Amino acid sequence: MTLTRAQFDAACKAFIQKIDHKALDNGSDTVLRRFPTGWSWREHNSYPGLGYLSRSVTLPAQCPVEESDDVHEIQDVAVESMDEAALSVSVSATPVTCQQYVVYSATFQVPAFYFSVHRSDGVGLSLEEIMSTPLFRPHVFPDTQTSHGVDVPGSAFALLSQGDHPTLDVPCWYLHPCHTAEVIDEILEEVKVNPSESSERYLEAWFMVVGNMINWNQSA
């Protein structure tokens, strides 16, 4: 099963309404534990029909601490009496901002997860630094990581790669949606979804599937 643009828009808006209603009704509801909160619907500033879900979360990241020249002078003096290993570049758990998006993939006609991670000065994190955050669940990616993405042996597409946000046209990382329709089909067939609710349940199933890789509710 795939979604039309109109079905995607309607499913996203219904999802937000459902989550917001559950949050007001009972913050400990199982729906809130299963699905991430804090999403809002955004439209393109100039062109209708290019909306997407968006939210911002804070994550801890292991970021190198820049050292001043004064610090290096002190180290030069101290190196005679200290082990060189103690003078390695220090690392600090620094909060970073992760912008997350659920967008419509016109090519595959399914939702797709896009994101960016930045320090407080607006500088984007490298892939290695992103992997030091709790954004991804442990051990979800194979050992085929490069500075440009994560490849899957035998696949024509990278599992994680870089590309422009389809609406904002800004650089992002994204999970490739090539096999999304197949996986969601299996889930919906198993639970026998009512056709009148298929679009909304499709998006819920998508969040659950992507949640096997993304720590939706993990933040600093």
Q: How much is the average pLDDT of 24-31? A: 50
Residues 4/109, Cβ–Cβ less than 8 Å:
yes
Domain 5-65+92-210 falls under CATH 2.60.34: no
Q: Where are the domains of the chain?
A: 5-65+92-210
User: What is the predicted pLDDT for the residue at 145?
Assistant: 66
Mind listing the pLDDT tens digit for each residue in 169-186? 999 999 999 889 999 988
Sign of CA dihedral 101, 105, 108, 109: positive
Tokens read off for 216: 């939706």
pTM of the model: 0.81
pLDDT of residue 220: 45
pLDDT band at 151 (very low <50, low <70, confident <90, very high): confident
- What 3-state DSSP class applies to 198? helix
d(C-alpha 31, C-alpha 39), whole Å: 14
CA-based angle 67:72:76, to the nearest 5?
Answer: 155
- Count of CB atoms situated within 10 Å of the CB of 25: 10
Task: Please tell me the distance from the alpha carbon of residue 170 to that of residue 10, in angstroms, as a whole number.
Answer: 25
214, pLDDT greater than 70 = yes
H and E: helices and strands count for the chain: 6, 7
Band (pLDDT 50/70/90 cuts) for residue 159 is confident
DSSP 66-94: P--HHHHHHHHHHTTTS-GGGGSPPEEEE
Ramachandran region, residue 69 (left: φ > 0; alpha: ψ -120 to 50; beta: rest):
alpha
Instruction: Give the pLDDT score at 25.
Output: 56
